[in-house]
Every structure is written in C-alpha cells, then in structure tokens.
Chains A and B, each alone.
Chain A
Amino acid sequence: MKLNLLPLLCSGLLCLAVNLLQAQQTSAFDLSITGAYQERPLPEILSDLESRYPVKFYYIPERIPFYPITIEFKGQPFYQVMKKLLEGSLLTFTKWSPNEMVLVPEDQRNRAFVEGMIKKWKEGEWQAPVLSSIAEKSFTFGSANTAPTGGKLSIKGQIQDDESNEPILGATVLVRETGQGEVSDEKGNFQLKLAPGKYTLQITYISYQSQLNYVSLYADGDLPVRLISMPQQLNEVLIKAQAVEKGAQSTNMGIERLSAKSLNELPTLMGEADVIKSLQTLPGVTNAGEGVAGFNVRGGNIDQNLVMQDDAPLFNSAHALGFFSIFNADAVDQISLYKGHIPAQYGGRLSSVLDVQLKDGNMRKWAGKGSIGFIASRMVLEGPIKKDKLSILIGGRQSYLGPALQQSPSITIKDSKAAFNDGLLKLTWRVNAKNTFRLMGFTSSDDFRYAQDFGYNWQNYQLAAAWNRVHTDRFFTKIHLSYGAYRAEQIDPEGNDAFALRNGLNNVKLKIDNVLSVGTAHALRIGAEGSQYFAKPETLRPLSDISVFLPEQVSKDNGREFALYAQDEITVSKRISISLGSRYSYYQNLGPRTVWYYAEGQPRETLSVRDSAVFGQGEVITSYGGLEPRASIKLGVSDNTSFKMSYNRLRQYIHLTSNTVAPTPVDVWQASNLYIPPQIADQYSVGWFLDAQDKKWETSVEFYYKSILNVLEYKDLPELILNQRLETEILAGKGKAYGAEFSIRKTQGKLSGWFSYTFARSFARVVGPSAEETINAGRWFPANFDKPHQINLISRLQLNPTNSFTFNFTYSTGRPISIPVSSYRLGNAAFANFSDRNQFRIPDYHRLDIAWTVDNRQTRLKGIRGSFTASIYNVYGRANPFSIFFRRNEVGRPSAYQLAVVGAAIPAVSYNFTF
C-alpha cells in the first residue's frame, strides 16, 4: 500500500510546484506600472522597472537611446508604459517570454538576432550601460516646426580636450539610433548627415569620459564637444583606437595608430614602455632582434622609415644601442605609422612614416605622470603658466645603471659606464581661438663605455616651433620649423690605437601645410616642405701620446630637399571615397666637397680615379627630382565591408650607410650625390576590410607589391668609415618586395586583441660592370631583413576593472645570412669560404610575453594614483638566435655558434603614476 501511495504523493507535489511556479510567472503584460521619472535616460528607467517588477529587458547596449525622458505612470498597463517610453525612438518591443521583453530596432527584429542578443546578456558580455561615467548634454538646432521635410541636415563639430583645448584625433562619434559613425580628423573635426529628428550622439575616446549629446536636429548645426580626460582608465587600450583607423569605413589603408596610454600595458623588456618595440607587435613590422635600433617595415631597411617627433625628424631613435627608444611614453599623445598608403604631405623615405605627436601641456591644471622601472624612471609634468593661454610640459628620463655597476665585484664593470637620459620641454601658447604656437625642445644622450677598452656616446637635439592658424572653420594652416642635430662618437681611450671618431648630422626643416574643406565632399591639403642636411665631417683625433693616429677629417655630403604637395580627400558617396594626391620633390647635393671622377668602363675604385673637382660652400654638385603620385580609393561593398586600393611613389634622398647586421650609433647618414642616386619606390596595395558585429570584430587582408630603384647595397666587406670615396664601396641595385597581411581584431569585450599573419618577401639585385660590383652573379637575393612569415597574437583579458592581463606572442622566420660552404688554409691557419650573400637563414624567432596590470582606481595616495604592471618578457626563456657565426676551436674543428641577446625569461615590474 505504501508503495502505491508514494507515486501519487510525488505527482501531487509536482503538480503543486508547477502551479505555484505558474502563479509566480505572471506575464509582464498583466502588470500595472507606477512611477515618476524626471529627465532620466531610458536605460535607467528600464533598470528601475526591473528592480521593482518581475520583468527583464534585453536590448543592444550601444543602440539604446539615452535622451532624457520625463514621464509619470500611475497604475498604467505595462504595454502602454512601454509604448510611451519608446515613443520617438527607432526601437520596438516584443515579448520573448512572459517576463522577458526585447527592445530592438525594427530591422533587426528576427529570431536569430534576438536569440544571440539574449545569449550575450545572459553570458554577461552585454550589460546595462553605466551612466555615471557619461556626461550628458542637450542641443537643439532649429525648430520642429521649421524642419525641412525630406533631405538630410548636417551636423558638424570639433572635439577637444576639455582641459588643454587640444583637438582630439580619432574620437568616435556614434549616432546611437542609426548606428552611423564618424571619426574626428587631426583637427578634431567631424561631420554627419542626418535626417531631421532626435538623436543621441555618443562621443568616445580612449581614456576620456564618454559623452552623450541629445540632439534635436531640425537645421544644420555646430556641435562643440569637450571631452574630459580620465587618466586612470588606462585599461581602455589601443585596440579601439586602432580599430577606428583600420576599419572598413576608413579610406586609408596600411595605417596603424597606437595610443601612448596603452604602451604601459604591453609586456616589455625590463618593463620599459617603448614606442618602437610596441610597433613591432603590428603586422609587417619587424626588426633584426633584441638590442637593435629601429624597425623594418615590409622588409625595408631601417633608414627607409621617416621617424618624426612633433614633425621634427629623428636620425637615431635608440637608447642603449636599441634596447629602448628615446620617446618618453608619458609625453606621447599619438603614434601613427603609415606603411601602406602614405599621404602626400609625407615624403623622403620609402617604407613608412612614424609620426609621434607629443602632448600639449595641460591648460587648466597642473598634472603629472611618470613611471618607475628597473633600469630607468621617467616623469612628465604639465600645467598652465597662464590658464587657457600658455601651458608647459616638461619631461625627462634617467637610467640608473651606473650605481648598479658600482656594486659589481668586477673592477672592469665598475670602471664601465652605461647611462642614458632624455629631456623634453614643450610650450603651447593659445593666442586666441584661431592661433596657437608650439615650441618644443628635446635632447637625449647615451654614454656607454666598457672599462678603458671601448665606448660609444651619442646625442640627439631637437628644437621645433609650430604655428597653427585657423583661418575659417574650413581652412587651417600649420607652419612648422625645426632644427635637429645628431652627434655620435666612438672612442678607444688607451693604447697606441687610442682614438675618438665623431660624426653627425644637422637638419633644418620648414613645412607649410594647409587644409581646406570644400563643401562636404572635398578635403584639400596643399603644402610645401624644405629640408637641408648639413653633414658634420667625420673627424678622428688621437687620444693618447703614443697613438698612431693623426687628426683626420673627411667631409660628407650636404643636401637640400624641396617638396610641393597637394592632396584631395574626396567623398564620392557614402561608400566610395578617394584620396588623390601628388608630391613633387627636388633635391640638390651641395658643396663643399671634392668630387672624384672615375674612368669609364672600369670598376669604381681608388685606382680608377681619373680626375677630381672641388665644389665650394653651397655650390650645387648634382640634383634629382620628380613627381611622387599618391592615390587611394575605398569602395564600400556594404556598411561593414570595403575594398581598398592604393598606389604610392616615394623618393629617398638620404641614406644610412651601415655595413653591419644592425646599425651602430656611428653609422653615417649619407645624402645622395653624383654616385648615390635617390632610392625610388613604387608601392601598390589592395585590401579587403570587414567589420562585424558593430565593429566588435574587424578583419582585413592587405596585399602589396613594391619595386625599388637604386636600392643601396654594398660591396663585400665594405670600408665605410673615414672613407672619402664612399661611392667606391656602395652599389645601386634594384629591389622588390611583396606580401600579404592578414589581420583579425576583437575590439570589445573582456577579451580583446588581435591576431595577424604576415607573408612578406623582400629581394635585391645588383648587376654591376665588374665582378666586384655585382652581387651573387647578378641574381635576385633575399634582402637583409627578408622574413617571409610573421605571426603576432596580442590579447588582453580584462578580468575586472582592476586587473588585466596582456599576452603577446610573436613568431617570425629567421633573417637571411651567409654561411661557410667550404674551408681552406693560408699558411697554418684555416679559413672559411662563404656562400653567396643571404642564401641561408638563422633559426626562427618566437617569444611569449605576459603582463599583469593592477590598476586600482579607488586607490589614491596623497593625490597620486598609480598602477603596477608586472611583466615577464620571453616567458619560456627561448634563446632566440640573433646571429649565427662559425669558428674553429683550438683543435681546428669548425662549429656553428648562436648568439642570443636575451636567453632567459626577464621579469620586470614598473609602477606608473598620475597626479
């Protein structure tokens, strides 16, 4: 009997439970709503309803309107409440389950989309917007009564930093109701075309408080936007900023932008945030290895990159031979790397333009930033000298390896030096709304010495002035004048070969850049640029009484470069935009100089000198010039997909002569002369860009082909230092490079980052009149930085607002080398005979880095806010070979050896602070 009753009892209980549950699941449509809201945004009202009634709302957080709503309900049915709340918006609501309501735009009202949306809410990927960090403003242009029917209205504006009044480049303006977006240009300007109506314009930029502008648009209007900096929010990293420029909507291709605020979060060697090393996480950007100055773009040499700081060129951006770069990460505002389409306002280098813009000093209040690391500390202090008129920014960095060396038990190490520092001063004078002057001074210094054996020291100096003039809201002019100097010295302080060898380069640059907007379809840029290079003679002086050297001086080539350029950014339609431009550059090689003439048909060497001529100061020795057309087109296939093409011609008139694997500080910049013609490159690129899920995912594929004329190569084992006939060691050849860059980025969510694969080949070919002037029998051979395969994986996991992890994995094919193919004896000693140039490769390079950033926004110690970044560089301790070399040991057995500059995992901690 008991057995029969048990199932019955269970069934009864189950029925009871189901009934109770059903009783509790009263449909939201049966609810009567009571509440009063005064100018509250919709998400806040929905959250309040959720807290008071058994109802849950699902919507697209980025599309929910934020305009203020004033409304009151007294026991009104749920259905009516929702209709009123959504009145005037583009959203409709529908019931998903009795208590789950879905708010979606009409065009996205389909089951698959709604299921995906709900899944994201339930998995926590989407959350209700946090409104407390968003500033809100309302604007009304015109009146609803006078609004034109049909057609579109224009709303434009300038986005500025609220404190410094600096225009903000790359800020995103999103119309929440339509999903339409725009990115501010370098003047902070944006423009949108919208039908009359009410809109919520959300303006966002990394590390700035987002802003909502509720716009009632019934006439064309100007919308001034001032964003407030949130210096603690370093976690909103570069990825969004990059996404803006790389997305399908941008006309440009091959442009990478980094925000300086993100630099501290990337895992770096010894914890030193570094601009150049960060660039190497991008597709198509590599270098020869750790401790090497500069970077290689798409297989090009390092001298084919124009590196500028506040538009002033730099000729050696390396600290500590290249372990670090000279840019102070805390003073940097924006980093742009142009490697595909290079706009006409830039020229003079073949591979890329790295434009590092420094911040202006804060116009409103004093503030500072800094970092304390293992080997160096840096700090930037900025503030108003006269509020809203004149600001100053002072920055500096100092290494402290010296005291560490003194702790060494080795007398040799104690007697050595390893120091670097840099200093920066920038004044910004906002004369009035239309005129701004900037003055920037920069110096960097490195001093390394190994006991009394050997040493290097080098210095950079920059002085730049700029005048920005806003003629009208459509016409801007920028005049830039800069002076730069680079000095390098190599010393050997003891013995009969004690010497000091100095060289350097002075540079003056004047540039006038005009930007003119013509209607809404044209943005014209017209300008002129002039640069002069004053090469300091190479000077040698003996450093000891017994030195065998006599003072010696070898003059180097001077040059003068002019350029005129014009470019038009044409918006043909929403989906088609074209960038057309051209640059005409003209170069003169100037005296004083002795020019040697060589016998026709003979190898160019000292023995074939037939005549010479002496050119006086400023006398023109030879000249070169030509057009450099630039073009780029974007064809939008859809709102999220575009196809882009570009063509560039570039000329390079100054070259770094270096016969070593990586450049040394004393390598000489050689201006083009009678025998060293300018290098000329033609680059063709095509790309396909796809954004998905509201730019959450961005994918791109870019293909490029580059041909180079007069590529600089060298005879075998050239003698480049103190050589008054350098042309006897230099060969002009042809180059070609081609490749493809695949990239996929996730720009939002807890896990963000990018994966890129680059296939890049770079070749050179030199056919001369003699065997000595021909390389590899005239065959194409891999260029020194030809690395066919490169993989980068950067991912960032934001665990919570305080903790984030960054992972960086990089892989690249080893660079080409020449290796011994046979041996022979001269007397008793055995020597190696080497292969043709660059016919083999060193083993592949790969490395994993991890960084953990703790950014406790609530922590504040006497006004100082800080974050810790702990990182491990080369986590699995791979000894990546920098080079392979071959030696015979004591018994004459030949062996291959590899040198790894970093052979272990390198942990580091840095503390970044802001006040």
Chain B
Amino acid sequence: MKWFEKSLFRWKFLCFLMLILCGGCIKELNFELGQQEDLLVVFGTLSDQPGRHIFRVTRTNAFERQVDSRPIEGATLLVQDSKGKQYPFVALEAGTYLLKDTLFRAVAGEQYQLDLKLPNGEHYRSDVETMPAAVRMDSVYPGIVVKDFDQSLQIFADVKIPADPNGVYLRWEVSRVWRRTSIDFATLFQDYFRFKPPVVCYMTLDPEPNAIRLFGAKRRDAFSLRQQEIARIEADEKFFERNAFEVTQYRISSKAHEYWNKINLVGNPQGTIFDVPPATIRGNIYNVDKPQERILGYFELASVDSAYTYCDRGIFRYTINNPCLVDYTKPAWEATYGYHPECAFCVNIKGHSTKVPKFW
C-alpha cells in the first residue's frame, strides 16, 4: 500500500473543507506550457502468456498535442535471459516491435533483460528483471456504491495472496464492453420487408483511462485479498443494457509497482495541498554509455491472469434511464423516426463492433 494512492480521498476531503469553509473552485486555465523535452520512451510487458508481446519505442511529444508519441523506426530490440538466450523482436509498424517468437512464455523465476539499439547508435539496456510467479484471481464481481443520489458500479477482485518473502504486487486493467441493440423498426412498424432485424453492437472502452489500479502490501504472509476495488464507473445510460468487464491482472515486481505508483500519482494529480510535487519518473532502462540520460518507460515482466464479470441494470439502486426514447422535437432525428441515430442504428456509434466478444 502506498499512501499517496489515497489522493482521491484526500481530494474529496479538501473539497469538503472548501465547501464548508469557503467555497473554493477549480477552473481550467490557459497556461503556457514548457518547452518540449525530447526523451526516449520504451515500454512493453513480457508475460507468461503466449501471444503478441509488443514493445513501443518512441520519443516524447509536446504535451499540448493530442498525437501519439513520436515513433522510432529501425531500432533493434532483443530480450536475453539469464542463460544468454536471446529473443529478438521484429518491427510491426513504426515504433512498434513484436517479439518474433509468438509462442514465447516468460518463465517464473527466470531473469530477463531488454537490449535496445537505436539507428543513431545509442545503446540502451534495462535492469535485469525477474519474472514473478503467477497469482490467480479467485473471482471478480460487481458492486454498487451509493453516495447521496450518485451511484457507481465498482468492480471488485478477490485474490488469494500467497506467502512470498519478496511480497506480492498486482496491477489490474479493466476493459468495459457495453451493448447497444438497435431499434427493432421491423417489429415497431410491422414492416419486415423494409427493415432488417435490429443490429446489436458491442463497444469496448477503458472505463478509467487515467487510473492505474494497484495493490501492494508490506506483508509477506499468505492472506485473502478481498473486495479489492479495481474499477469504479459512474452510472450512465450505457448500463441500460448488459455490460461485460474483462479484468486482466498482472503480477509485477515491487520495483514495477513502485514505478506504476509514481506514474499514477503524477498522472492523476488532484491539485490539492496533499499533492506531491510532480517529477520525471525514471524507469528501469538506461543508456549504456550515458547513464545520466533520462529514459522514460519500463521493461515489465508480469504473470497474467484474466477474468470476466457482467452486470445488468437491475443491480443499480436507482433506475437507469432508457437512452433510446423517441424525441420528435429534434428535427435531425426525423430520418430515424425520432430516435437518436446511434439508437436507431448502433453502427453509428464510433468504435462499435457487431462481433460478439468471446467472453460475452
């Protein structure tokens, strides 16, 4: 447990004080940002699961731009284990490199090191990292938290933490899939010739793009981690139909946990008096010839476990409104018979997929 994980609560606490004492405020500000700093960013996770082990090699970009980091092409990457065996990468696309051996599984207890050479001759290495043993989730399940009249869905995980003298550190990623069934005009208008059967779409999104959910405790004994909150999503109309959540758990090293913790802290500032002054966060990669060079990113080894959970609107205390009601006051919806175009035909939703997810 890192104490600054509590920043969210601290933030609420200050809001509370501000509210009762003086009515403070937060507002967006036009602030001149600093000059761009051109730093190398290397990130990728090597896991115990076969498949696509993808690493990204990029450079930082101007903060105010929405574009991705600037990719570096022509880099040479390989991973080497403690026996000297090397696993090379191949370029997949600009700045993206794929471990050539797609059946590769990192072995628990084995040590790995990333080696990177850039086209300009600079040579980088990671610290030697050890692959942690797998820890499986017992269950993941939804819950509801109600504060006044605001309700949120929480995703919890229960995990049996094994005894380990090095401690157990976990990171979770949650992916939300929500469903939208298009309006069944055929039934509605009894017109089975003009209208096809309604299309069902599945949309995937990151419910908490700015959050990194972590667990780490100083205790080394075996215990049951229960009701570990791994996501919290405010109730919205996307919950009108069934939602599914894919939970990926990464068991990481204590150093990686510390790294992510700092990333979380700096990435989610609250602006309160309790904030830690932000700073550049160094990972575990360094320039072989210039150790002072600041490198961003992390070479992560993780044992991975996945689980799924689902929820319907019935789980909520307060009613989830139907987002797809007829509204004739909106002239733009005339073509869709008064329905929002995204309700009438879910294929209008950006990022939709009509393919049913395998875990649905």
Q: Which residue of B lies closest to A890 (CB)?
A: B209
Residues of A within 8 A of B65 (CB): 823
**B217 within 8 Å of A by Cβ?**
yes
Do residues B263 and A546 form an inter-chain contact, with CB atoms below 8 A?
A: no
- Is B312 part of the contact surface with A, judged by Cβ < 8 Å? no
Residue of A nearest to B5 (CB): A497
The CA-CA distance from A501 to B206 in the complex, in Å, is 34
- Of B72-80, B266-274, B338-346, the one contacting chain A is B266-274
- CB-defined contacts of A895 to chain B, threshold 8 Å: 28
Known: A898-B27, A902-B24. A887 touches B210 (CB 8 A): yes
> Given the known A-B contacts A719-B2, A883-B271, A904-B23, are A897 and B282 also in contact in the complex, defined by CB atoms under 8 Å?
no
- Least Cβ distance of A307 to chain B in Å? 19
Chain A residues positioned under 8 Å from B296 (CB to CB): 824, 833
Evaluate whether A497 and B277 lie within 8 angstroms (CB atoms) in the complex, with A450-B16, A879-B27 already known. no
Separation of A563 and B103 alpha carbons in the complex (Å): 71
Interface residues of B in 269-317 (CB under 8 A from A): 269-282, 291-292, 296-298
Taking CB atoms, residues of chain B closer than 8 Å to A772 are 282
Q: Which A residue's beta carbon lies closest to that of B277?
A: A818
A771 within 8 A of B: yes
B63 touching A820, Cβ below 8 Å: yes
B186 within 8 A of A: no
Q: B56 contacts the other chain (Cβ, under 8 Å)?
A: yes
Given known A-B contacts A827-B43, A833-B39, A453 and B62 have beta carbons under 8 A apart: no
Contact A717 B219 (CB under 8 A): no
Q: Is the CB of A897 within 8 A of B26?
A: yes
Asked if residues B271 and A832 are in contact (CB atoms below 8 Å), the reply is no
Q: How far is the CA of A42 from the CA of B28 in the complex (A)?
A: 68
Pick the contact of B279: A717, A824, A828, A879 (CB < 8 A). Answer: A717
Among B26, B36, B69, chain A packs the most CB atoms within 10 A around the CB of B26
A896 within 8 A of B: yes
Query: For chains A and B in complex, what number of residue pairs have CB atoms within 8 angstroms?
Result: 276
Q: A834 on the interface (CB 8 Å rule)? A: yes
Within 8 Å CB of A817, what residues of B?
Answer: 277
Interface residue stretch chosen among A178-186, A347-355, A427-435, A656-664: A656-664
Interface flag for B29 (CB, 8 Å): yes
Chain B residues, CB < 8 A from A809: none
Q: How large is the interface on A (under 10, 10 to 19, 20 to 34, 35 or more residues)?
A: 35 or more
Q: Which of A75-83, A835-843, A851-859 contacts B (4 or more CB under 8 A)?
A: A835-843
- Is A881 an interface residue, CB under 8 A from the partner? yes
B151 interface residue per 8 A CB criterion: no
> CB distance B30 to A896 under 8 Å?
yes
Q: How far is the CA of A818 from the CA of B37 in the complex (A)?
A: 14
B273 contacts A885, C-beta separation under 8 Å? no
Q: Give the chain A neighbours of B274 by CB distance below 8 A.
A: 660-661, 664
The residues of B that contact A448 with a CB separation of less than 8 Å are 13, 17
A270–B63 CB distance below 8 A: no
The answer to whether A901 has its CB under 8 Å from any CB of chain B is: yes
Most chain B CB within a 10 A radius of its CB, from A552, A818, A825, A887: A825
Contact B31 A884, beta carbon cutoff 8 Å: yes
Asked if B63 and A832 make an inter-chain contact with CB atoms under 8 angstroms apart, the answer reads yes
The 8 A CB mask of A276-292 against B (1 = contact, 0 = none) is 00000000000011111
Lowest 8 A-B CB distances belong to which pairs?
Answer: A716-B279, A822-B60, A896-B31, A903-B25, A885-B271, A454-B9, A821-B34, A899-B271
Q: Can you report 30 residue pairs joining A to B where beta carbons are below 8 Å apart?
A: A269-B21, A291-B17, A322-B273, A323-B17, A411-B147, A411-B148, A413-B19, A418-B17, A418-B20, A448-B17, A450-B9, A450-B13, A496-B227, A549-B217, A662-B273, A664-B273, A717-B279, A817-B277, A818-B279, A822-B62, A824-B60, A829-B267, A884-B29, A891-B66, A898-B271, A900-B24, A901-B18, A903-B23, A903-B25, A904-B25
Spell out A's residues near B (CB within 8 Å). Answer: 269-270, 288-292, 320-323, 375, 401, 404-405, 410-413, 416, 418, 448, 450-451, 453-456, 492, 495-497, 499, 501, 546, 548-550, 552, 659-662, 664, 716-719, 721-722, 771-772, 777, 784, 817-829, 831-835, 837-840, 843, 879, 881-888, 890-904, 906
Q: A270-B22, A492-B9, A894-B64 are in contact. List 10 more A-B contacts (CB 8 A).
A: A455-B13, A717-B265, A821-B36, A822-B36, A822-B63, A823-B69, A833-B63, A882-B273, A883-B272, A906-B23
